[in-house]
Amino acid sequence: MRVSLLESRRLTGPNLFWHLPSAIIDVEYGGVDADSVVACWQNHARRFMNALGWQQEQTCHRIYEGGISMLISASIDVLYAATEVNEAAFNACVADLDGEASLDFDTELIRLRAEIQTQKNPALLALQQAALEHGKPFLWDDDEVSIGFGANTLVWPTDDLPDVAEIDWPAVASIPVALVTGTNGKSTTVRLASSVLDAAGYTAGITTTDYIRIGSEIIATGDYSGPGGARLLVRDHRTDVAILEVARGGLLRRGLGVTEADVVLITNVAADHLGEYGINTVPELIEAKFIVQKSLKPGRPLILNADDEGIVAYASGMQQRIVWFSENRDGPVIQTHLAMGGEAAVSDRGRIVWLHGSDEVRVASLSDIPITLGGAARHNVQNALAVTALAMVLGIASPVVARGLCAFGGSREDNPGRGNFFAAHGVQVLVDFAHNESGVNAVMDTIAELPATRRAAVICQAGDRSDGLIRDLVRSVMKAKPDCLVVCDLPGYERGRPAGEAQKLIARYAEEMGMDKSAILFAVDPPAGAEKALEWSSAGDLLLVLALNQRDDVFDILKSRGFE
């Protein structure tokens, strides 16, 4: 193998590489120098671009372990054609490297010009430019184009756009938009923020990995943490404030879906989904998560976790306005920040406190915020601090922030799959979505604070995680010293592994870490795992169910057995 194409796609918004809409190819290589591949590709890409009249467009690249990402910029109406141009340049490069004759340049040029001609949309570009000149939000996709957000949004079919001179531009307006990303806590943070906004009298719209919700109405179910969900929500006239969960996959696959935000929040960054899209290390993942800051309006704040060393290191020296949150009021990051007149949300002697320079506002007691379990659930203390910071920078009064924090419980309705507690027959059950080492560590820290005669854990993992990440997950669970381990398969989530392989790995690692083989049970899926754990349990026991999917089925099983 010398060089082979892994994927070709469009980056429709600001992305890991730059702010430009682009066509990107990811390639793997071996037995050849990466810089030689890049130079060869750039030469052919520039030749095609010049011949097509794209002299103003640019190229860039990123070399990572085992692969290269190579991009060409293009106007938004011809991005599909741009992927063809990029692939043509790559194919010509491969032919050069292999010493073979490439396709005839003139023939390829005729084909590419025809592709571009069919995709050109001057009205789309005119609307994009006019929105920029008028300072109005602009969104586009294959089917629709819009200006404005919320109640004052105008939407048209992509193939039937108006003359920009006919638009009543003063009537087009925006709404506050917040983006939330990170490795763990995104969905909980978004939902908790919605509770605060509800308390403030707003109709909050949120996107999560589970649904899109406006006010109390769920308008779509499924994973809407990508650009498509963001566009759908901010175009809805009922939305007063939009809180958008932004997942790593969408950022790397397409770039930012919404390019104008009033506040951006990064909860934390830890090892998860490494090895995808050329992101192989936690520092690279941190850089990917920080893509969201490219959406911020001038002067608007970036909210960061001062207890995350990787985030603190990456943010060092940034010129962006930063607001910190931390469990440690006296930490050096917070103290230095406050001395410079900065803002922070901290926990201090069992309270959430908002600090601005030397000013201090006591917001709420942790004992009154249900999801923190009186401070025992430290990961949810962090989520509450993050939401406090978000709400305060949006101008919500501290008593209202407190009311929203305290109104949000750990129920299936408030926060499905995230820290949901149930109890019946003297048995406690915690259902959680935690699926990586850092997330499970947080849950283990929580249950370690809860009294129990015995503990059982129901565990599973998707097949696209490496052996090392699966081992780390098991190590985290074993910290709780479970008396019973129920290992579930995840049908439909094999993702490249043979069926049952991840399940066998979990069991093997648990044994290697000291789990008695007789205490390891097997189940076909998480609902069956919950059933087995319940059958094992007796009064005084605590059960942890890490349900990566089929959570509603797990909830139904618990309800049928009287757990509330």
38: domain CATH number is 3.30.70
Flag whether 412 is in a domain.
no
Query: Which residues are within 8 A (CB) of 26 and not within 5 positions of it... i.e. 6 or more apart?
Result: 5, 6, 7, 8, 67, 68, 69, 277, 278
User: Burial, 9: exposed, middle or buried (Cβ in 10 Å; 0-12, 13-18, 19+)?
Assistant: middle
- The residue written with tokens 């006239």 in the block is 237
Give the pLDDT confidence score for residue 446 in this predicted structure. Answer: 75
In this structure, the answer to whether residues 199 and 295 fall within a common structural domain is: yes
Question: What CA–CA distance (Å, rounded) separates 266 from 259?
Answer: 16
Flag whether 329 is in a domain.
yes
**Averaged pLDDT, groups of 10, the chain, 564 residues long:** 88 95 94 92 97 97 94 97 97 88 86 96 97 96 96 96 95 97 91 96 94 94 91 96 93 93 95 77 93 95 96 92 96 95 96 95 95 86 97 97 90 66 87 73 75 88 83 86 89 82 90 91 90 92 83 86 83
Flag whether 413 is in a domain.
no
Q: Can you give the residue range of the structural domain that contains 114? A: 3-119
Q: E strands within 164-316?
A: 177-181, 204-207, 211-214, 217-221, 241-245, 263-266, 302-305
Give the pLDDT confidence score for residue 209 in this predicted structure. Answer: 86
User: What 3-state DSSP class applies to 500?
Assistant: coil
Flag whether 202 is in a domain.
yes
Flag whether 385 is in a domain.
yes
Neighbours of 298 (CB within 10 A): 5
3-class secondary structure per residue, 303-358: EEECCCHHHHHHHCCCCCCEEEEECCCCCHHHHHHHHCCCEEEEEECCEEEEEECC
Number of domains within the chain = 4
In this structure, the answer to whether residues 92 and 126 fall within a common structural domain is: no
Of 534, 523, 524, residue with least CA distance to 556:
534
Give the pLDDT confidence score for residue 322 in this predicted structure. Answer: 97
In this structure, the answer to whether residues 401 and 424 fall within a common structural domain is: no
Q: Which of 171, 191, 211 is the last residue of a domain?
A: 171
In this structure, the answer to whether residues 42 and 106 fall within a common structural domain is: yes
Flag whether 414 is in a domain.
no
Flag whether 197 is in a domain.
yes
In this structure, the answer to whether residues 97 and 162 fall within a common structural domain is: no
Q: Which of 101, 119, 137 is the last residue of a domain?
A: 119
Give the pLDDT confidence score for residue 277 in this predicted structure. Answer: 82
CB 3 within 8 A of CB 96: no
Flag whether 278 is in a domain.
yes
Of 58, 14, 3, residue with least CA distance to 179:
14
Report the amino acid identity of residue 550: Q
Structure tokens belonging to residue 319: 């010129």
CATH number of the domain residue 281 falls in: 3.40.1190.10
In this structure, the answer to whether residues 109 and 43 fall within a common structural domain is: yes
Question: What CA–CA distance (Å, rounded) separates 351 from 366?
Answer: 5
Calculate the alpha carbon distances from 179 to 263, 292, 325 in Å. 7, 7, 16
Give the pLDDT confidence score for residue 562 in this predicted structure. Answer: 87
Question: What CA–CA distance (Å, rounded) separates 250 from 179?
Answer: 13
